[in-house]
A and B are shown apart, each in its own frame.
Chain A
Amino acid sequence: MIFDDEPTPGEGLPILPGHVSPGRLERVLRAGKFAVTSEIDPPDSADPDEVFKRAAIFDGYVDAINATDGSGANCHMSSVGVCSLLTRRGYAMVMQISCRDRNRIAIQGEILGGAAMGVANIMCLTGDGVQAGDHPQAKPVFDLDSMSLLEIARAMRDEHRFQSGRKLDTPPRVFLGAAENPFAPPFDWRPHRLAKKVAAGAQFIQTQYCYDIPRLKIFMAQVRDLGLLEGPNRVFIMPGVGPLASAKSATWIREHVPGVHIPDSVIKRLAGAEKQKAEGRKLCIDLIQEIREIEGVSGVHVMAYRQEEAVAEIIQSSGVLEGRVPWYPGRDRQLLREAMEA
């Protein structure tokens, strides 16, 4: 997909009517294309080349890249740092902001800083508890929660003000995202909780890892019935998927990673396979194809932690891009070269 108003890398796209951001992700979703996002593994390093290398793995396969904010409460390069480096090359970033490590003063500053650096999408998260990470002795902040963060970010964008009421000169033009976990109790509340997030300002949702298609189908039907997928304030839902490396690692994740629900049948399928890693990727492709068939789904979010190199192959094999080549630095030169050779 090539936009005819394609900007110089590092600059935003013009904001179309009915859009809030100058970003590619919002364009793709509102155009009704099946969007694909993934997650960069932020380095434990101050080397910018490491960031470029890790982003280039996804070239041509994703519409936006999430930069995580101390995911799993582990220390890494900051999301605003990763985003600043990559937006300058033209990448579409989803900057994650978690409420665990900063109070409202720091967070609002970060929203402005990120937007100034070319971030067009912000993902508002509560964040994992500090007990989950490598610094369990740290002070958990949680001054805001994901909902109040969404409301504050929306007011900054739409009402041009901080939470204090003080005016902004230029608002952050950002498409606002949030997370949902349809696979964690209380199940009957989850769709209503999503409605609450939409009311607070969420425009797209990336879910926790989905390994339970029937549960996702029920959730999506409830979300549709609540009318959340219609109208100008509709929400775009991108279920999370990811390859499991082996039955053993799946069991470990199920027991140790908060909020990840992996049914026994998945673990059995992996355990029964000769090459478990390959089977894990195959399973991921199957999941993407099944998810795509569910009414109301707008895309997928591929989280391939420590298997980032597999994302291209997984998306390619799933066929969800339907020949579309999402933008990456140098794409248009590459496409031109291919056209001339053909």
Chain B
Amino acid sequence: MYAVRRWVVRHSRGFEMIYNAFEPVIARLDPLWRRIGYARAEGPVARVERAVKGFLFDCKMCGQCALSSTGMSCPMNCPKTLRNGPCGGVRANGHCEVKPEMKCVWAEAWAGSQHMKSGTKIHVVQKPVDNRFRDTSSWLRVVRQIAEKRAPQGEQK
């Protein structure tokens, strides 16, 4: 919902803190995810993720969440699905070229990033979307990446 997502961007710092607390928790659940099987967990987790992030961010389930780099403003709400900043068509009032009634997603992102600790991540060039991940859980992907990074260190001990 447009109003909710704008409220979220205004409170981007808080959401950054919530996510930073949340990520290690689900990452620590890696043994559980593995017991269930990442593939079997995918469906239910993706449904929860879609519901939560859909409500808060108008998440489009691209499956490769960039919110922490985009001031908590979901770039997939940009009609051009830009992942790296605003186009040149932003109106003088800061609204979208394509949807004049909507504030530019990237103008919002810039404002949101200014409140965040990781605000400078907005300057890093994002890779284009991998369309194979559409409608899959971004959370589980992140968790699995963290677990895989940890695994080789664990074996050394």
Interfacial residues, chain A to chain B (CB-CB below 8 A): 99-100, 104, 126-129, 131-132, 140, 142-148, 151-152, 163, 179-181, 184-186, 188-189, 192-193, 195-196, 199-200, 208, 258-259, 261
Contacts and interface: CB of A to CB of B under 8 A. Distances in A.
A185 B127 contact: no
B107 A126 contact: no
A163 B131 CA distance: 14
Contact of A181 (B83, B88, B127, B128): B88
Given A129-B97, A140-B79, A186-B94, A147 B84 contact: yes
A145 B84 contact: yes
Interface of B: 79-92, 94, 97-98, 104, 106-107, 110-111, 123, 125-129, 131
B128 A145 contact: yes
B128 A104 contact: yes
Given A129-B97, A259-B97, A184 B86 contact: yes
Contact of A145 (B82, B90, B94, B97): B82
Contacts of B90: 181, 184-186, 259
Contact of B125 (A99, A151, A163, A185): A151
Given A152-B128, A193-B86, A259-B89, 13 more contacts: A99-B80, A126-B80, A129-B79, A145-B80, A145-B81, A145-B82, A148-B83, A184-B90, A185-B90, A185-B107, A186-B94, A189-B85, A196-B84
Interface majority SS (helix, strand, loop, mixed), chain A: loop
Contacts of B88: 126, 179-181, 184, 208, 258-259
B84 A148 contact: yes
